[in-house]
């Protein structure tokens, strides 16, 4: 007879093999904006279910290309696809969480909330028209704040980016000059500054370059202790970014106003509204070649909607309203297998 400890070890190993055989890991790729929350959800989901998520944070443009090429189980994008694009590629799109894009600065001694900017000033910085922190337009808005008489470096995304789409959508909302010259897109021919790949790359460049300014998802700013500049909103106020400000921006949103829930939350009214708020989106095939894998994608996000709110808010994301979750899960019924039945029974 084997010693008890050996028998127990064999039994545990057998159980682990059986569990592993039943486990199903799904793959996704795309937006860097939601990477922190998807990583946290994946960690807890694996613990709870034995199934996992392998997510590549490669940027929204890459996520769209990967799901179009059917090399992943889902794509992720912060720049929602239009109805025609969804129809063309046979895709279903739905939001997961909301968050905010914030301008971050590396000015020695300056902390979050100690510098204010307007949308027009941000646009002129990224157009290369404002080149120093001591520019009169910035100085007038920040009387009493010690700003360096030094060149500023705009930092931007070098990859196709949903975060860039959100940021440039906002700049187009508030600056006619920006809208006519550059518009809103996942990629821009930036006239000045330095690029970084992903929210991670922009964060790293801003931290390394004195007097730099960049734009990143709020969670990256907090996790890396970057100083955030406040932005004047549509009501003329300068709210502090965070859950309350992001929720205020989405308070009156009509999520069904666009195909795939692809509405814009930038420059919304409300004294407390953060002006660069956005949702992030998932893309799956409407008629998937492997229905079981797509069903597992939907199970993962169903679990996240039900169990992931606290994890999301701990990382400064805002969960979707319950009404929107219900609308999303109703939309999932259109995702069907070869037998015409929904891949996931709700």
User: pLDDT digit string (tens) for 225-246?
Assistant: 999 999 999 999 999 999 999 9
Residue 1 has pLDDT above 80, yes or no: no
The reported pLDDT for the residue numbered 24 is 82
Q: Contact at 8 Å (CB) between 205 and 214? A: yes
| SS3 (DSSP) at 230 | strand
The reported pLDDT for the residue numbered 14 is 36
- For the chain, what is the mean pLDDT? 92
pLDDT tens for each residue of 65-114: 999 999 999 999 999 999 999 999 999 999 999 999 999 999 999 999 99
Quick one: how far is CA 48 from the chain centroid? 25
What residue spans in the chain does CATH classification 3.40.190.10 cover?
24-99+278-334, 101-250
Please choose, from the candidates 320, 241, 225, the residue with its C-alpha nearest in 3D space to the C-alpha of residue 276. 241
Tokens of 272: 């407390």
Residue 339 has pLDDT above 50, yes or no: yes
Please choose, from the candidates 247, 238, 241, 243, the residue with its C-alpha nearest in 3D space to the C-alpha of residue 226. 241
What are the distances in angstroms from CA 175 to CA 1, 123, 171?
A: 80, 7, 6
Q: Contact at 8 Å (CB) between 140 and 262? A: no
What distance in Å separates the CA atoms of residue 129 and residue 118, rounded to the nearest whole number?
A: 14
What distance in Å separates the CA atoms of residue 94 and residue 260, rounded to the nearest whole number?
A: 6
The reported pLDDT for the residue numbered 252 is 82
pLDDT tens for each residue of 259-296: 999 999 999 999 999 999 999 999 999 999 999 999 99
Please choose, from the candidates 63, 101, 87, 82, the residue with its C-alpha nearest in 3D space to the C-alpha of residue 265. 101
Class of the domain covering 24-99+278-334: alpha beta
Tokens of 106: 């590396």
Per-residue pLDDT band for 346 (boundaries 50, 70, 90) equals low
User: What pairs with residue 102 in β-bridges?
Assistant: 216
Class of the domain covering 101-250: alpha beta
Q: What is the mean pLDDT of residues 14-37?
A: 73
pLDDT tens for each residue of 37-61: 999 999 999 999 999 999 999 999 9
Task: Specify the long-range contacts of residues 264-270, CB closer than 8 Å, at least 24 apart.
Answer: 264/169, 265/98, 266/166, 266/169, 266/170, 266/173, 267/119, 267/170, 267/173, 267/174, 267/233, 267/234, 268/234, 269/234, 269/235, 270/233, 270/234, 270/235
What distance in Å separates the CA atoms of residue 91 and residue 190, rounded to the nearest whole number?
A: 31
């Amino acid at each position: 007879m084997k010693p008890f400890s050996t028998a127990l070890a064999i039994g545990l190993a057998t159980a682990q093999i059986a569990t592993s055989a039943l486990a199903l890991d799904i793959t996704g790729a795309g937006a860097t904006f939601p990477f922190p929350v998807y990583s946290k959800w994946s960690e807890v989901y694996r613990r709870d279910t034995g199934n996992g998520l392998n997510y590549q944070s490669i940027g929204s443009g890459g996520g769209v290309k990967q799901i179009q090429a059917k090399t992943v189980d889902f794509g992720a994008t912060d720049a929602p696809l239009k109805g025609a694009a969804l129809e063309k590629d046979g895709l279903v799109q739905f939001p997961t969480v909301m968050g905010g894009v914030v301008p971050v600065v590396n000015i020695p001694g300056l902390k979050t909330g100690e510098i204010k900017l307007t949308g027009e000033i941000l646009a002129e910085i990224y157009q290369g028209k404002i080149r120093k922190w001591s520019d009169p337009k910035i100085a007038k808005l920040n009387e009493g704040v010690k700003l360096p008489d030094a060149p500023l470096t705009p930092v931007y995304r070098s990859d196709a980016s949903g975060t860039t789409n959100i940021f440039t959508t906002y700049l187009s909302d508030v600056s006619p000059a920006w809208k006519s010259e550059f518009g809103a897109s996942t990629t821009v021919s930036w006239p000045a500054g330095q690029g970084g790949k992903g929210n991670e790359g922009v964060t790293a460049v801003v931290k390394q370059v004195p007097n730099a300014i960049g734009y990143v998802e709020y969670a990256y700013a907090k996790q890396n202790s970057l100083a955030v500049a406040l932005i004047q909103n549509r009501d003329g106020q300068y709210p502090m970014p965070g859950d309350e400000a992001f929720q205020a921006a989405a308070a009156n949103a009509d999520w069904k106003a666009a195909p795939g829930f692809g509405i814009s939350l930038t420059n919304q009214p409300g004294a407390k509204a953060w002006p660069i708020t956005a949702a992030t989106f998932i893309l799956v095939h409407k008629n998937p070649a492997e229905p079981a894998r797509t069903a597992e994608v939907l199970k993962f996000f169903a679990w996240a909607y039900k169990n992931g709110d606290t994890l999301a808010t701990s990382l400064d994301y805002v969960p979707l309203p319950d009404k929107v979750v219900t609308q999303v899960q109703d939309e999932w019924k259109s995702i069907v297998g070869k037998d015409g039945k929904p891949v996931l029974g709700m």
